[in-house]
Amino acid sequence: MRAAQLDALSDPDCIKVLVALASSPVPLPTVEVAVAVSAEVTRTSRALDRLVETGLVTPHRGPASVANAAPGVVLTADAWLRFGSLLVDTSARPQPDAATPQRISRMAEQLYERHSAHFSLPTVRGYVEESYALLAERAMVTTYLPTLVYRFAEDRLAALARAEGRTPSRTPEVLFVCVHNAARSQMAAAMLRHRAGRSVLVRTAGSRPASRISPVVIEALDEIGVPVAHEFPKPLTDEVVRASDVVVTMGCGEACPVYSGRRYVAWELDDPLVLPMDGVRRVRDEISTHIGQLLEDLDSVPVSSMTT
């Protein structure tokens, strides 16, 4: 298998596909991979087949909650561990292109249509601009940045509306916070969503977020049938804390602001990013146990819709 992997790496088509997948924060369908590498779909498919056979790429189907999500492919944990540093250039951050202001304006207008009952256009635009700045600061590539900015800004506006009492709800909200928002908090959020469904609203954040979720975390959750690959690390912002009823911290120190009326819980867990795969699975199982207890405790947590 190792010889076959090295042989595949001598194929320029395979290298282009691996770089495209390493640069994407989400699984990519074959057609999107072909677009990313500027190649025909049939040629890209042949390269993908070869990479799947050698264990460097694996199919990944998005969660049912993602509307019309096409089956995609991702790098395997083995590919990341052996060749990840060769596939992603971290020497320089990408710079915004000339179209960025226009994209921000379009996103602001689209989000304003959804949130006009609660916020003015300048407020929405301000959140879009700030969300862009926060995500662009750590982005290694900008291909999918507008999509992530839209999702991040929309989630922040929803949290702000909840925190200010504009959208009262009896659904409890839980926020998971760790340092990089790439492992522990993402594991916890994915398992809570999987088990609680729509009965709990779940968010995550990091005090120093990474550029993407750890591939070993995606693999560990795939083993138990819990989807997470369509999520992405997000910086910790004030409104998501204020909107939460329960805030679970995992090794992020005092980075999380404290507000009255919220329940704060600290889980002591090893960081999966520095563990072998068996250690990642152990932390996953420990988090699963915590999630079970949290679900029991949520019945006794008062749901807050106060303005703070």
- Rounded to whole angstroms, what are the CA distances from 161 to 84, 109, 116, 226, 308? 40, 18, 11, 29, 11
pLDDT recorded at residue 15: 87
pLDDT, position 66: 40
- Per-residue pLDDT at 31: 78
Within the chain, which residues score under 70 in pLDDT? 1, 25-26, 61-71, 81-100, 139-143, 253-255, 300-308
- Cβ burial of 170 (10 Å; 0-12, 13-18, 19+) is exposed
Q: Comparing C-alpha atoms, which of 252, 213, 229, 232 is closest to residue 131?
A: 232
Q: Model's pTM, two decimal places?
A: 0.69
pLDDT given for residue 34 in this prediction? 79
**Distance in angstroms (rounded) separating the CA atoms of residues 48 and 206:** 33
| Strand residues in the chain grouped as ranges (E) | 57-60, 72-75, 173-178, 201-206, 246-250, 263-266
pLDDT, position 141: 54
For position 117, what pLDDT does the model report?
95
pLDDT of residue 64: 39
Question: Can you spell out the DSSP letters for 233-283?
Answer: --B--HHHHHT-SEEEEES-TT-S---TT-EEEE-----GGGS-HHHHHHH
Q: What is the pLDDT of residue 142?
A: 63
Quick one: CA dihedral 96, 99, 101, 104, positive or negative?
A: negative
Query: What backbone torsions phi and psi does residue 237 show, to the nearest 5 degrees?
Result: -125, 155
- 131-155: buried (b, 16+ CB within 10 Å) or exposed (e) per residue? bbebbbeebbbbebbbebbbbbbbb
